[in-house]
Amino acid sequence: MERLWKRIAVPLTVVAFAWGGEALAFPQATGGGGSEGGKPPASSEKIAVEKAKGPNAYTVGDLFAKGAELDKKPVVVRGKVVKVSREIMGKNWVHLQDGSGDAGKGTNDLTVTSKDAPKVGDVVTASGTLYKDKDFGSGYRFQVIVEEGTFKP
C-alpha cells in the first residue's frame, strides 16, 4: 500500500501545484537551486541578513558553492523565511534567503526541511545536515538542501 501511495502522491502534488494549490505544493526542486514551481514568489525587496555566528556557519551562497565539501555535514545558516510549504511528505519545507547567492542561477534560495514551521518574514538561524544533489524522484532534485532542520530566532 505504501508503494502505491508513493506512486500516486507525487503526481497528485504536482497537479495540485499546477492548479495553484499551496497546501500540496511541492518544494523547490530540479535545475539550479530548484524548479520554477517551487520557488518562492519573486520580490523586489532587497534581503540582507547577517551571517550566522559560530562553527559550521555559512551564507546561503556559501552552501551552494561548497555543497560537495559540506555534503552530509552539519551546517548553520541565518536567513529570512520567504516561503513555507507545510506537511509535504511529513515535513515542512522552509525557504530561506540571506541576500547571498545568484537569483538567476537559483543559488539564493535554500530549502530546509523540518518539523518546525517558522512564519514567512521571520529571520531565523537554521541548523541541520546539508545534502548535495538530493533526489526525491519524479524530477524533484535539489542541488543542495538542509534536512532535519531546527530553527532559532
Provide the residue type at 24 as one letter: L
Confidence at residue 119, expressed as pLDDT on a 0 to 100 scale: 97
Q: pLDDT, tens digit, for every residue of 103-140?
A: 999 999 999 999 999 999 999 999 999 999 999 887 77
Tell me how far apart the alpha carbons of residues 125 and 122 are, in angstroms, rounded to a whole number: 10
- Residue owning grid cell 555559512: 58
Domains identified in the chain, total number: 1
Residue 75 is part of a domain; what is its CATH number?
2.40.50.140
Question: CA angle at residue 106 from 152 to 26, to 5 degrees?
Answer: 70
Confidence at residue 41, expressed as pLDDT on a 0 to 100 scale: 60
Please state, as a whole number, how many other Cβ atoms lie within 10 Å of the Cβ of residue 132.
17
Domain region containing 119? 2-152
Dump the DSSP string for 54-74: STTEE-HHHHHHTHHHHTTEE
